[in-house]
Amino acid sequence: MAAKPDFKTCLITMTKKILITGGAGFIGSHVVRRFVNHYPGYKIINLDLLTYAGNLENLKDIERKPNYEFIKGDIADSGFVHSLIAEHQPDAIIHLAAESHVDRSILNPLSFVYTNIVGTVNLLNASLKRLESSPDFLFYHISTDEVYGSLGKDGFFTEVTRYDPRSPYSSSKASSDHLVRAYFHTYQLPVVISNCSNNYGPNQFPEKLIPLSLNNMLHEKPVPVYGKGENVRDWLYVEDHAAAIDLVFHRGKAGETYNIGGHNEWHNIDLVKLLSKIMDKKLGKPAGFHERLITYVKDRAGHDLRYAIDASKIKNELGWLPSLQFEEGLEKTVDWYLENRDWLSRVTSGEYANYYQTQYHTR
């Protein structure tokens, strides 16, 4: 590995402008909010295409802050990305923009290649150009634990686990991770990567397990559980992920990878049953009211059995630990979705359905 610049000092004293991609999405909106509020001296530029998953409503509370700016654009458009970086001259990029849903990647892999691979390379190339005049530049790539493949009943993913992606989504993210590392080794672009487990919390589009289940329970519709519901995911509250990203951005070492996870494994079926109980309580329904909606459906193609992160590196080196217990995080999440039913119906409305038909599939 090439020499590692000391980002701890250079970023805290010098970083002025940070370009965050995908800031209108689920995790990105929490990261943007955190950086805008915690670092008033930084200028945060949020670059997002506003696909079905991106929603500026997620950032209503900070949109008028003087250190925040939104720009709509496509990271897969090389000319656009180059002129944006040349015009705004960011000191760092935190890259979250992605197509993020496994089921969609099974239906339409190419859109994952455009955004997750081509889009990342466009940002890397523009970053190299920026490095010429900004030697302390940092490219921070946000990735997933799904690049490591599927675990059996035991063991954990560490930072040295061999990559073994199995879905088009995880393959596109693995490819982008490799390209980010290649730019570090080949061109000495200062980079850092973090790979996180499944996130949950406010603002998550209701296609992922937790918000989809909540949305269906609210409408008393069947709650689909793939296969036998035996698959295991390691869940982390989204604000704990945003706190980890803040820490890695400021204190992580260039060229390094940090795994982030909740040490919080749940079989899907147990998780959906727990959600049902919380919903019974919150909506004043008799015990078992929501659980009866659980419906076993055909399994996802190539469904990874188990993900689980060993997060000891980020704990030992940077002092990060999740702050929320799962039950507490789930209650907060359920409360948010119950208080934001308008948001739920807007993001799943005809407008979204039309956009999905006309733009998403045809690019």
338: tokens are: 């119950």
Q: What angle do CA 310, 244, 71 make, to 5 degrees?
A: 130
- Is residue 337 flagged as an active site residue? no
Site string for ligand TYD, 284-323 (x = CB under 6 A): ----------------x-----------------------
Residue closer to ligand NAD, measured from CB, 72 or 185:
72
- Is residue 145 flagged as an active site residue? yes
344-347, long-range: CB within 8 Å, 24+ apart, which pairs?
A: 344/206, 344/211, 344/215, 344/218, 346/57, 347/52, 347/55, 347/205, 347/206
- Is residue 265 flagged as an active site residue? no
Closest separation in Å from C-beta 300 to ligand TYD: 6
Q: Compute the Cα dihedral for 120, 122, 128, 132 and give only its sign.
A: negative
Strand partners, 46: 20, 70
Residues 79-138 that bind ligand TYD (CB under 6 A): 102
CA 167 to chain centre: 17
Q: Does 73 bind ligand TYD (CB under 6 A)?
A: no
Residue 273 host element (H or E) = helix 268-282
CB contact at 8 A, 266 and 235: yes
Q: Does 268 bind ligand TYD (CB under 6 A)?
A: yes
Residue closer to ligand NAD, measured from CB, 46 or 276:
46
- Using CB under 6 A, which of 112, 226, 320, 337 touches ligand TYD? 226
Residues 162-221 that bind ligand NAD (CB under 6 A): 173, 196, 198-199, 205
Which residue has 């686990």 as its token pair? 161
Site string for ligand NAD, 48-77 (x = CB under 6 A): xxxx-xx-------------------xxx-
Residues of the shown chain interacting with ligand TYD in the complex, contacts defined by CB under 6 A: 102, 198, 208-209, 212, 224-226, 231, 233, 268, 300
Residues identified as active-site: 145-146, 169
